[in-house]
């Protein structure tokens, strides 16, 4: 499998494979799987059919020989037409190609090929217009497999050339050493690796093809789950600091003062976390639940148990705005229990919550660092830089990571490998819940806990897609609704995808939005086409003033974005939280962690510019109080377009788990696996987190058993190689540390 293709098939064949498809070894070629198959029995042998049995419009695949080919200019209109006459037994067919003069070169007389297309009548005979075709080598038609493989290819390297190279390799290939233990293959009914590779390329039946693909998908799932199990084993090589519960500590006092009852799900998950935190086996847990399910309360109760044990907890957020919001929320929830060292601290005992971000002034940063280093702060809140920059802690017991989808597996490894004799407990929270089988794929190194119910009083969010491009009156009504909400004593968010001005946040476009676009109800929408669709996204710094001077004149309006100075951002969020701002025009800095129960309406401008999960998170900022709430997805997408259809589906889907499925449907699944796991797609050719969930679960159980008995896979060199082939050398480096 490691042999160079230069050796295996010679330079004439190997060089185009390397140049056009980046295939360099036998293994590379054999892992370049067919994208589809043509069933041999569907190949029409016209000599066995009577002419009257053909029907116009019938789709056929013909195995034929080119008799002659001509090219000419069309008389009635500008263009070129190429016609090839092919013989299939005693029958003749015309294959017609428009504006493809190079087909004369491809289909020289005597060329044998498979032609696939729709039949039509032409000058008393049969014609295939612009058929797909695969040129075959001489004398091989009788040797074709039952299912003819069609490969991912390029204009300069056709599928047939790939197939011939594969056959050439398979003719001389020794069966590769199978990395899967025989007992695993027997338990799960898996074919051997050699047989699977042969049958996936040259299957005679659909059953053979299915069995081969199942084995190869299993390899990818198993390799990924071995990597995850290895990371998990690496995380438990050192003990965690034990944090036993106290009946008279901060956690008990906090529970006693809660003004509401915890949900059954919150209590059960909290009990599970408390049990693990009390021991010295490191907690490595993914906590997920829908928007508003109360993940922060669960995490805070866990942090208080750690503080009760004399240790510290740190809460990490992906942005400074979110970190500041978390610090405010934790202080508000704890009240006097979170104001140690202040005059109104609880006399029975309290802890200190310290915010540590990069934008703090010199003195504030020194004070925050001292709080963390000395242990004066029981809870430190900051961005991931808190860990990366070597901030010292007196005794770090728990790391809570919010919005886990912004952090990758390498950062989880960093958290677990901090200097010292112990490793901190790690609790990560995903802002968008994902189906269990997807969680096993993306977060297989973590145990999973789910919050399955919403707290009492949470309001449903009425969501509507507003196609402002074709129904501008709907947008007029939206601004009227804002006035009605404010008149009723409530507050409103308006979200834009871009900051504006001279720069932007990561991923933003830089061009300014056109004046009046989407905000002017009288704008001319006729003739909007590609130029209108290509306009830059709307910007906060432009939309805010337009609204303040136009449809929302007279309301107290502020803007918020990530590039504002920290003190300004904090002042705006505080004013909005205290009800001194009616309308907040913001970027996605308010996506998670912002909790203003009085906010009852959100309008998301250019909603088609956001991802599905991001839209679900954004609308979760409303509906947090007792009043009915609504969210409007405003878009200029055309009626019936995929973008508007996606927004309409999301508007009708309130459940976060279903939203995550929709998210995976509309974006490349490879992005999920690549970005989260290995940063590359090459090792994962077949695995689908949506289609292969049950198989992933099977592979996970086997992987955990193997790694429990052989953590470094020293006794399973084949499996170590499988891991490296799936997740890459750099990502599998942890095996060398075990």
Environment class of residue 735 by beta-carbon count within 10 Å: exposed (0-12), middle (13-18) or buried (19+)? buried
Q: Cα(162)–Cα(167) distance, rounded to whole angstroms? A: 9
The predicted-structure confidence for 59-102, as pLDDT tens digits, reads as follows 777 888 899 999 988 776 678 899 999 988 778 899 999 888 88
Does residue 51 carry a pLDDT above 80?
A: no
Length of the chain: 738
> In this predicted structure, what is the pLDDT of residue 164?
85
C-alpha–C-alpha distance, residues 288 and 298, integer Å: 11
Quote the pLDDT of residue 500: 80
Rounded-to-integer distance, Cα 281 and Cα 242, Å: 8
How many whole angstroms separate alpha carbon 383 and alpha carbon 368?
Answer: 13
Per-residue pLDDT tens for 397-412?
999 988 655 555 566 6
pLDDT attached to residue 521: 36
The arithmetic mean of pLDDT across residues 236-243, rounded, is 86
Percent over 90 (pLDDT), the chain: 32
Average pLDDT, the chain: 81
**What distances in angstroms separate CA 243 from CA 216, 253, 276, 395, 397, one per listed residue?**
44, 17, 9, 11, 8
676 DSSP assignment: I
Contact 692, 221 (CB under 8 A): yes
Contacts of 381 (CB under 8 A, 6+ apart): 314, 315, 317, 323, 326, 327, 330, 353, 354, 355, 356
**Per-residue pLDDT averaged across 530-538, rounded?**
60
Q: What is the pLDDT of residues 318-370, one digit of tens each?
A: 878 788 888 988 998 999 999 998 888 888 889 999 998 877 888 888 898 89
- Lowest-confidence region among 296-300, 330-334, 536-540, 720-724: 720-724
Q: How far apart are CA 229 and CA 641, in angstroms?
A: 43
Query: Domains along the chain?
Result: 5-187 (2.40.50.140), 204-234+674-737 (no CATH), 250-451 (3.40.50.300), 461-653 (3.40.50.300)
The pLDDT value given to residue 488: 95
pLDDT confidence tier of residue 531, bands split at 50, 70 and 90: very low
How many degrees, rounded to 5, is the angle at CA 363 between CA 361 and CA 364?
A: 65
Q: Is the pLDDT of residue 523 over 60?
A: no
Contact by Cβ (8 Å): 458, 296 = no
Structure confidence by residue, pLDDT tens digits, 671-730: 444 444 333 344 678 887 777 878 888 888 898 899 888 888 888 888 888 888 887 655
| Model pLDDT, residue 310 | 94
Give the three-state DSSP class for 310: coil
Give whichever of 16-20, 38-42, 157-161 has the largest mean pLDDT: 16-20
Beta bridge partners of 81: 72, 98
pLDDT tier at 161, thresholds 50, 70, 90: confident
Structure confidence at residue 670 (pLDDT): 47
Closest among 443, 418, 457 to 627, alpha carbons compared = 457
**Greater confidence, 313 or 292?**
313
626 pLDDT band (50/70/90 cuts)? confident
Q: How far lies 109's CA from each of 103, 144, 156, 398, in Å?
A: 12, 22, 21, 74
Give residue-wise pLDDT tens across range 598-615.
999 999 999 988 888 788
Average pLDDT over residues 566-587: 90
Give, for 37, the enclosing helix (H) or strand (E).
Answer: strand 36-39
Cα 557 to Cα 327: distance, rounded to the nearest angstrom: 24
Q: Is the pLDDT of residue 121 over 80?
A: yes
């Amino acid at each position: 499998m490691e042999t160079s293709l230069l050796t295996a098939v010679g330079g004439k064949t190997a060089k185009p494979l390397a140049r056009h498809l980046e295939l360099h070894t036998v293994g590379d070629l054999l892992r370049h799987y067919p994208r589809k198959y043509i069933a041999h029995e569907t190949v029409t042998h016209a000599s066995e059919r009577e002419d009257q049995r053909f029907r116009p419009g019938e789709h056929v695949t013909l195995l034929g020989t080119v008799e002659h080919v001509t090219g000419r200019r069309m008389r009635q209109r500008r263009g070129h037409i190429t016609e090839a006459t092919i013989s299939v037994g005693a029958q003749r067919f015309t294959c017609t190609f428009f504006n493809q003069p190079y087909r004369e070169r491809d289909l020289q007389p005597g060329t044998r090929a498979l032609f696939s297309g729709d039949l039509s009548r032409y000058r008393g005979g049969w014609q295939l217009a612009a058929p797909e075709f695969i040129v075959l080598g001489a004398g091989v038609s009788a040797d074709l497999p039952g299912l003819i493989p069609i490969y991912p290819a390029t204009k300069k390297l056709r599928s047939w050339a790939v197939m011939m190279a594969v056959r050439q390799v398979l003719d001389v290939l020794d069966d590769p050493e199978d990395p899967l233990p025989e007992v695993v293959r027997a338990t799960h009914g898996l074919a051997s690796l050699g047989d699977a590779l042969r049958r996936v390329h040259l299957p005679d039946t659909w059953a053979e093809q299915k069995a081969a693909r199942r084995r190869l998908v299993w390899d990818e799932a198993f390799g990924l789950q071995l990597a995850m199990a290895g990371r998990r084993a690496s995380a438990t090589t050192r003990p965690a600091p034990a944090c036993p519960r106290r009946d008279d500590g901060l956690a008990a006092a906090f529970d006693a003062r809660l003004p509401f009852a915890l949900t059954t799900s919150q209590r059960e998950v909290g009990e599970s976390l408390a049990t693990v935190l009390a021991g010295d086996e490191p907690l490595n847990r993914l906590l997920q639940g829908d928007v508003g399910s109360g993940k922060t309360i669960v995490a805070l109760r866990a942090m208080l148990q750690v503080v009760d044990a004399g240790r510290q907890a740190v809460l990490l957020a992906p942005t400074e705005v979110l970190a500041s919001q978390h610090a405010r929320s934790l202080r508000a929830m704890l009240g006097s229990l979170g104001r140690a060292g202040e005059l109104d601290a609880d006399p029975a005992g309290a802890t200190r919550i310290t915010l540590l971000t990069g934008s703090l002034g010199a003195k504030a940063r020194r004070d925050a660092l001292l709080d963390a280093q000395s242990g004066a702060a029981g809870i430190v809140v900051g961005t991931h830089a808190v860990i990366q920059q070597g901030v010292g802690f007196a005794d770090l017991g728990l790391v809570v990571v919010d919005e886990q989808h912004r952090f990758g597996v390498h950062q989880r490894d960093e958290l677990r490998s901090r200097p010292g004799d112990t490793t901190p407990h790690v609790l990560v929270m995903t802002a968008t819940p994902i189906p269990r089988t997807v969680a096993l794929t993306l977060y297989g190194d973590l145990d999973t806990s789910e919050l399955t119910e919403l707290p009492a009083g949470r309001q449903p969010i009425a969501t509507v897609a507003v196609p402002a491009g074709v129904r501008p009156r709907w947008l007029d009504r939206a601004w009227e609704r804002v006035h009605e909400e404010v008149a009723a004593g409530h507050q409103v968010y308006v979200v834009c995808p871009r900051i504006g001005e001279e720069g932007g946040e990561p991923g933003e476009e830089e061009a300014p939005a056109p004046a009046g676009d989407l905000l002017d109800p009288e704008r001319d929408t006729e003739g909007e086409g590609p130029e209108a669709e290509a306009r830059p996204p709307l910007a906060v710094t432009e939309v805010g003033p337009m609204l303040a001077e136009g449809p929302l004149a007279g309301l107290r309006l502020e803007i918020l974005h990530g590039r504002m100075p920290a003190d300004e951002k904090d002042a705006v969020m505080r004013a909005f939280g205290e009800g001194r701002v009616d309308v907040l025009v913001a970027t996605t800095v308010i996506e998670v962690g912002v909790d203003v129960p009085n906010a009852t309406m959100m309008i998301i401008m250019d909603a088609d510019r956001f991802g599905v999960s991001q839209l679900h998170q954004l609308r979760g900022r409303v509906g947090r109080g007792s009043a009915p709430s609504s969210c409007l997805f405003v878009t200029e997408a055309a009626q019936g377009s995929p973008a508007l259809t996606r927004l309409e589906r999301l508007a009708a889907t309130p459940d976060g788990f279903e939203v995550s499925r929709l998210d995976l449907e509309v974006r490349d699944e490879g992005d999920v696996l690549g970005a989260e796991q290995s940063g590359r797609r090459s090792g994962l050719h077949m695995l689908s987190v949506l289609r292969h969930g049950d198989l992933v679960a099977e592979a996970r159980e086997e992987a955990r058993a193997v790694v429990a008995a052989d953590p470094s896979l020293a006794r399973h060199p084949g499996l170590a190689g499988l891991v490296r082939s799936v997740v890459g050398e750099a990502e599998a480096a942890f095996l060398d540390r075990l």
